[in-house]
Amino acid sequence: MNASHRRHAQGAAASGRLFFVAPLLFAGLLAGLAACVPSANAVATNTVAANVAAASAAWVASAAPGSQRIALFDCASGDARAAARLQQPLAAPLAYDPRTASLYAATADAELLRYALPGLELRARVPLGFVARTLAVGTGPDALLLAGGDGQRALSAHDPESLAPLERYTLAPASGVAAILDVAGRGRFVVGFADAGQLWEIAYARDAPPVLRGLVHDYRMGEAVPLPGRLTPRPFRVDSATRSLLAGPSSFEVLRIDTAGAVGVVNLDVRREIERPRLGAAADPLPAASWRSENARGWLVAASDGSTQVLAAPDWRPTTREPDGAGAAIAAARERLRVASSLARAHPGTVRVESAFDAGCAAAFDAQGRWLGSARLQPPSGP
């Protein structure tokens, strides 16, 4: 893999962690825990996990690719909660699962690890067969963990507790996974590739409809070959390779940044990139926050000079004008973007700003992973 390829993959993975992307990190915390009638032991286990996850909502993890240490802090106070030392450096940003109160890590020696909160106890580890550059965990009781890296077989799905491999995917020979985004409202991951003009949707919901393969007339005749809906990729083409993916204001919209920095709005229902707003080359990561009001939705994108541009459905043209009735939602998005830059300026030595697990607090860290300060955030608006 060339240096440009690796930079794209690492940058995309990191963009999923920076708080101003406004991911719904804590959406669906308790979703599905009571969806069935489990045994008494299962009820107790789930209750303990839910209580730990709720207590850990305002915690923030300090761990960057290349580090061999994971530290857990109270986001608001900076009080240390736990720490863990790894045998090998981290190769990807951490992923957090509120349902199981777990942190997932991928290391430079191609291992996948699961740490339990609050003590960061190592509960599971498996060999991946590739060095993962990005991790994502789904939402709800059917959730899976997806790990992606560089190489022809560098994408795999895992059980979120045991880390047992469930599926291994074959990619194009020169491709690598640049970004994985959990879209909770669809029960699916969106996967973008660093060297291929293609996106995949991979469903983890057990009731996902089958994937049909065949010619158009086969669908009408009921002759298409149905493949299992869960874990089977649904690929579709985009115009260029992908650098990063940002969560949208609805469950069917995603903001895609390609390897040249161009921004595109992807509609997952129609399975194509429907618009390319004229924003110029996007920063890496793109400082953007989704917003949604009763009658409008979109993203707010910050420029290097501090100004902001509004992207709103249905035309997605960059503008400074706010849609009617969207003022409060856009103001909240603007405040999240403002906190990102002001927090770093207020604390010399800041190298990154991380969001707490509930996205209600942001903390600044230095190059050694030390907590420098924090600020409260308004919860991101979304579907």
- Give the chain's domain count: 1
Residues 6+ apart with CB under 8 A from 37: none
In this prediction, residue 3 carries a pLDDT of 40
Sheet holding 233-237, edge to edge: 177-183, 188-193, 198-203, 233-237
CATH of the domain at 81: 2.130.10.10
What would the pLDDT profile of 337-378 be if each residue is shown by its tens digit? 888 779 988 999 999 899 898 888 999 999 889 999 999 987
In this prediction, residue 219 carries a pLDDT of 52
pTM (two decimals): 0.83
Question: Strand runs (DSSP E) across 272-369, as ranges?
Answer: 272-275, 288-292, 297-302, 308-312, 352-355, 361-365
Say if 233 falls within a structural domain.
yes
Distance CA 2, CA 13 (A): 17
DSSP 6: H
Distance CA 314, CA 312 (A): 6
The gap from C-alpha 230 to its chain's centroid, in whole angstroms, comes to: 19
Cα dihedral 19/61/132/91 (nearest 10): 110
Q: Is 162 helix (H, G, I), strand (E, B) or coil?
A: coil
pLDDT at 211 over 90: no
Distance CA 167, CA 35 (A): 25
pLDDT at 9 over 80: no
- The answer to whether residues 148 and 180 touch, using CB atoms and an 8 Å cutoff, is yes
Distance CA 303, CA 312 (A): 17
What would the pLDDT profile of 285-335 be if each residue is shown by its tens digit? 889 999 999 999 999 999 877 789 999 999 999 999 999 999 999 999 999
- The answer to whether residues 101 and 87 touch, using CB atoms and an 8 Å cutoff, is no
pLDDT at 146 over 90: yes
Kindly report the number of other CB atoms within 10 A of residue 70's CB atom: 22
Mean pLDDT of the chain: 83
Of 74, 61, 133, nearest in space to 103 by CA: 61
Radius of gyration of the chain (CA): 20
In this prediction, residue 14 carries a pLDDT of 35
Kindly report the number of other CB atoms within 10 A of residue 226's CB atom: 13
Say if 381 falls within a structural domain.
no
Say if 383 falls within a structural domain.
no
* Cα-based angle 73, 79, 82 (whole degrees, multiple of 5): 50
What would the pLDDT profile of 88-118 be if each residue is shown by its tens digit? 999 999 999 988 899 999 999 999 999 999 8
Residues 6+ apart with CB under 8 A from 369: 62, 63, 64, 67, 69, 71
Say if 45 falls within a structural domain.
yes
Say if 57 falls within a structural domain.
yes
Distance CA 106, CA 84 (A): 14
Say if 89 falls within a structural domain.
yes
Residue 353: domain span: 3-376
More confident residue, 289 or 15: 289
Distance CA 74, CA 61 (A): 9
pLDDT at 37 over 90: no
CB-based contacts of 324-327 (< 8 A; 24+ apart in sequence): 324/295, 324/296, 325/293, 325/294, 325/295, 325/296, 326/291, 326/293, 326/295, 326/296
